[in-house]
Structure 1
Amino acid sequence: MIPKLSPERVARRAATALALAALAGFGPTLAQAEGDHRGGTLRLVSVSSQGTLDPHINYTSQFWQLYAFLYDGLVGFKKVGGADSKEVVPDLAEAMPVISNDGKTYTFTLRKGIKFSDGSDMTATDVLASFQRIFKVLGPTAGTFYNGIVGADTCLAEPAGCTLDGGVIIDEAAGTVTINLTAADPEFLFKLSAPHASILPSETTPKDNGNEPIPGTGAYMVKSYDANNSMVIVRNPAFKEWSKDAQPDGYVDEIDYTFGGTEEAAVNAIMNGQADWMFDTPPADRLAELSTTAPDQIHLSPLAAWWYAPMNVNLAPFDDVRVRQALNYAIDRDALVSLFGGPALAQPVCQVLPPEFPGHEDQCIYTQDPGTSWSAPDMEKAQALVDESGTKGAKITVVTEDNAASRGIGTYLQSVLSDLGYDAAVQTISGDIQFTYIQNTNNKVQLSISQWYADYPAASNFLNVLFGCDSFHPGSDASINISGMCDQEIDARMKAAIALGATDQAAADKDWAKIDAAVMEKSPALPLFTPQQVDLLSTRVGNYQFSSLHHWLIANAWVQ
């Protein structure tokens, strides 16, 4: 049977929700005059790391949060808290680009005097080599973010020989970089602001650098990294602040990041003054206590994100759309919200685009009363679809990450699958490899638990990136279309919506809402819930700022 929460657990969850609801409006207090807060060591903890350090390959929110102060692109999102964090500002370029040729040509002038952390100068040659490298390493967004650059089609077909001839043109003497597109792209500046467009030294090898740090231009640099133990981040000795908006100098001198242990141990370390922040969400049963005993140490922030369970449309039994739809009908999204910590921390969803996001229109077809919102599971409908498919008894393995939330959701899905008549099991994998493992088709993952956080505020960043044909790369660890869905008709509609956005964004957003519905009819994934960010900080951390794209701005914080 589908597990039900005991009355005692329901009461604890309700207490947590009520206590945290009071904190939802509790933001960071205005900092005292900055004064001299420079110095000290910030201590971060996480249950696991997130794999490769390579900024052209890693596609996790945990490491993108670090890349904000390790690397730079030609432009970047403003490093401030609040709504202004969505603004694109000049970074390695001295000003916003000159856009010409009906939106297809971007010309940048590079800042002078910027150095990488190894002391070498950043030049236009490095910019060209970095864009070529995005394709040479087959980065996860090469086919979705940067495929509009002239010459990208050749690079995608033959990565090793990528030149982007005619696409990225440099003038070393003038310090200019010109990027030519095959068609106008209203999202291109957003895409250039992502860490995958970080500018690296031209000598960087065209392969995944793994645990080996690559020199960057940011305020900090990675001194050492062991994916199983720790990372040490120190100041970049070659850095001089050129723009506080793009790359602030930062306050602390060192950031020590420890991997391992449990969420419970992390909470205890923070409350005992042995750590300053945890990446993972604190256990729900501790949050009610903390919201009463330490309310000024908890910060809740809305996220443009979702937790979801991609179903592999190319493997049995999920190669049958009826099975995928059945599971969507069967899951109790309220129960999943409770597992995550209650309604103060998450809201049930049954579509791809998160609330209040471009293109979002409330819609829910996989519920007892289809309409604009989730109501209840429809097990009768789900069982009928399973019976019709003739797949009852099939073996299904749910692959989860090794943390409390992911394991709990995986166990719940196992129970639902068993109730539907399947032989279900859970496989738990360390967080430093789970995300790449579930992407690689060679691992034959049927069903997994994952999360997606917006790279930038556009519907395509969810729908096209997660379910577009250009994001599916069989046999690769960088195949972000985990479900393997490639519907040519929907794919064409997504490309048309992106193009329409260049002239009429409002009309494009209406099309994206229809595409959202079309994707959910194909049911390539289980939308679970949209979360809130929970940041638990030690009492010695000041100047908390939250960016909807970078999350907690670590470099902007100080320690006392």
Structure 2
Amino acid sequence: MGRRAVFGKQVFSCWIFLFSGAAVAAGSPADLSHRGGTLRLVAAGSAGTLDPQINYSAQYIDLFANVYDGLTGFRKTTGKAGDDVVPDLAEALPVPQDGGRTWVFTLRSGVRFSNGQEVTVADVVASMRRLFRVGSPTAGAFYAAMTGADLCMKDAAHCTLEGGVVADEARHTVTFHLTQPDNEFLQKLAFTHASILPAATPDHDLGNEPAIGTGPYRIVSYDPNAGMKLERNPWFRIWSEDAQPDGYADHIDYTFGLPDESAVTAVENSQYDWMYDQTPLDRLGELGARFTGQTHVSPHPVAYFAPMNVNIPPFSNEKARQAVNYAMGRKAMVIFYGGAALARPLCDMIPSAIQGHTDACPYSRGADFAHPAPHWEAPDIERAKKLVRESGTAGQKVTVVVSNGSVDLAMGNYLRSTLEEIGYKASVRPISAGVMFPYIQNSSNHVQISLKNWAADYPSPSNFLDALLGCENFHPGSDSSINMPGFCDQSIQAIMDRAKSDVSLSAEQTLDLWREADRLVTERSPIAPVIEMNVVAVTSRRLGNFFYTNVYGLLFSKVWIQ
């Protein structure tokens, strides 16, 4: 471990310089001189289904932002303004009625799908209904407040959302009726799973077949073993530069199958323009020293954490889960990710980029819940060993499931060593990045503990607390069960539900509820927070107007090829 620590210090010095100088260009949306060419993307693997209402991988969600639209969207701009919700396929953001239970949207006229078909209110109703019929992983978490959603959750095949989503063709309006107010309803409609698709879209997972969208690009071919091709949507016309700007590149080619080490070299040499996968640790110093103009460091609400299955041994025991939190070597994990310029220890479930975060840490050496440390300082191995003995789980076998990328493997092996040190017989099981996420979601696979990174769907504590640990998001035996620990605490759920629905609360009172839920979740320990990160993007010399948003990452439509 000493060589890694020394290298981490070298990387740190390089990246301090790089981070201070990495600027995000805004570009001119009206500059047509950069229009044309082919944007070339590369990743180690594909990310599963092309169905925009099912896929929950950052790899494709960020891509889908250039292909699909919802009634609302996030402003496609850099900086904090990118957190703002703006009208997309809707003409304007509605004022909620009936105490937040009724929302009336007027659909824009003249917007067409990539097949030339005009978008209608019937498409909106069918798309909302389809969320439940196809078992979208966020159907319960995001959209369960719609009238009729409870019946849809019980019997998806016969879902109608009757009374919940009502179209008025004459007025070109769609009215949503909620059973209770939802303070984040506009944000949820802006998420990719609420994309508006043609009403005739089949009510099953589309798999390798692309859905028809309204954005500036359309997917024209897909081979999950080789790659994907996109081209301009011939029917796209700008209706809102904020919601959906036009694209610069004529074509986007996405190649799969290149390992991260090879991908870095290929992008450095401008054979590709951008790589999806994390930059391997042993390449960061090289980038910071020789390729500063091609390397970009961007803040992002994203974190690594270790979900623990609360329903099977050893982590069905709360003391065993707390032991992992006390033993977690967060500083070492920071080094594995690239050093203190790129990552920071995280001790609660809300990253610092999201309001509601606290630095106080009960899982630092010498701290506890009565006397938390002001911030995480060091693991407490002795306390962790004691908790393992008290839990009666010492000596049990534990398998850590990780993605097979170099950073995740390094973290996974370190976690395995930590588990061995505190009393378990541990091993690591690496899985291809394309299948790892659905695998660890499915309780039938009996995953005990894993390592996963998680980016906010939109900037709210609910994305890290309710999404990952809400009772409604645990679906036994399903690949779409984002509550990976299988955790459900009704008293904590009640606090989160109030934070989501009580329109009488001030913004600060709502944040206080999220902080309370965070404190209680931290004590129950279904997840061990690890680190929060900045995102490192390596681009080719050809790529201009690097355009990174808080929600969508690198916005492919806004970059150009020089």
TM-score range, shorter chain: over 0.9
Give, as a single letter, the amino acid of the residue that structure 2 aligns with 1:540: R
Matched residues, number:
555
Corresponding residue for 2:370?
none
1:27 to 23, 34, 37: 23
Q: Does 1:404 find its partner at 2:406?
A: yes
Give, as a single letter, the amino acid of the residue that structure 2 aligns with 1:521: E
Deviating more after overlay: 536-545 vs 18-27: 18-27
**Equivalent residues in 2 for 1:490-509 (5 A)?**
490-500=492-502, 503-509=505-511
Corresponding residue for 1:11?
6
Partner SS, residue 303 of structure 1: strand
Corresponding residue for 1:208?
205
Between the aligned partners of 2:374 and 2:468, the Cα distance in structure 1 is: 23
Deviating more after overlay: 282-291 vs 476-485: 282-291
Corresponding residue for 2:257?
260
Q: Is the 8 A contact 1:13 1:285 kept in 2?
A: no
Between the aligned partners of 1:39 and 1:356, the Cα distance in structure 2 is: 35
2:434 to 432, 435, 441: 432
- Name structure 2 gaps, 5 residues minimum: 368-372
Q: Is the 8 A contact 2:47 2:59 kept in 1?
A: yes
Corresponding residue for 1:236?
233
Q: Does 1:477 find its partner at 2:472?
A: no
1:531 to 523, 530, 533: 533
Give, as a single letter, the amino acid of the residue that structure 1 aligns with 2:161: L
1:290 to 265, 287, 290: 287
Q: CA deviation at 1:420?
A: 2.1
Cα distance per residue 1:191-214 (max 9 Å; x no partner): 010001000111111111111101
Between the aligned partners of 2:501 and 2:518, the Cα distance in structure 1 is: 17
Distance of aligned partners of 1:10 and 1:323 in 2 relative to their CA distance in 1, 3 Å threshold: same
Cα distance per residue 1:220-241 (max 9 Å; x no partner): 0111112222111111122112
Corresponding residue for 2:513?
511
1:393 to 379, 392, 395: 395
2:378 to 376, 401, 405: 376
1:337 to 329, 334, 337: 334
Between the aligned partners of 2:448 and 2:246, the Cα distance in structure 1 is: 45
Give, as a single letter, the amino acid of the residue that structure 1 aligns with 2:414: Y
Distance of aligned partners of 1:205 and 1:87 in 2 relative to their CA distance in 1, 3 Å threshold: same
Partner SS, residue 292 of structure 1: helix
Give, as a single letter, the amino acid of the residue that structure 1 aligns with 2:208: N
Q: Is the 8 A contact 2:281 2:407 kept in 1?
A: no
Between the aligned partners of 2:213 and 2:483, the Cα distance in structure 1 is: 29
Partner SS, residue 69 of structure 1: coil
Between the aligned partners of 1:28 and 1:317, the Cα distance in structure 2 is: 46
Give, as a single letter, the amino acid of the residue that structure 1 aligns with 2:62: Q
Give, as a single letter, the amino acid of the residue that structure 2 aligns with 1:249: D
1:99 to 96, 99, 121: 96
Cα distance per residue 1:468-488 (max 9 Å; x no partner): 101111111110000100011
Q: TM-score, normalised by structure 1?
A: 0.97
- Name structure 1 gaps, 5 residues minimum: none
Q: RMSD across aligned C-alpha pairs, in angstroms?
A: 1.4
**Equivalent residues in 2 for 1:3-402 (5 A)?**
5-6=1-2, 8-25=3-20, 26-29=22-25, 31=27, 34-370=31-367, 371-402=373-404
Q: Is the 8 A contact 1:543 1:557 kept in 2?
A: yes
Give, as a single letter, the amino acid of the residue that structure 1 aligns with 2:247: G
Corresponding residue for 1:462?
464
Distance of aligned partners of 1:478 and 1:271 in 2 relative to their CA distance in 1, 3 Å threshold: same
Q: Is the 8 A contact 1:16 1:287 kept in 2?
A: yes
Partner SS, residue 222 of structure 1: strand
Q: Is the 8 A contact 1:75 1:88 kept in 2?
A: yes
Percent identity between matched residues is 47
Between the aligned partners of 2:136 and 2:502, the Cα distance in structure 1 is: 26
Q: CA deviation at 1:324?
A: 0.7
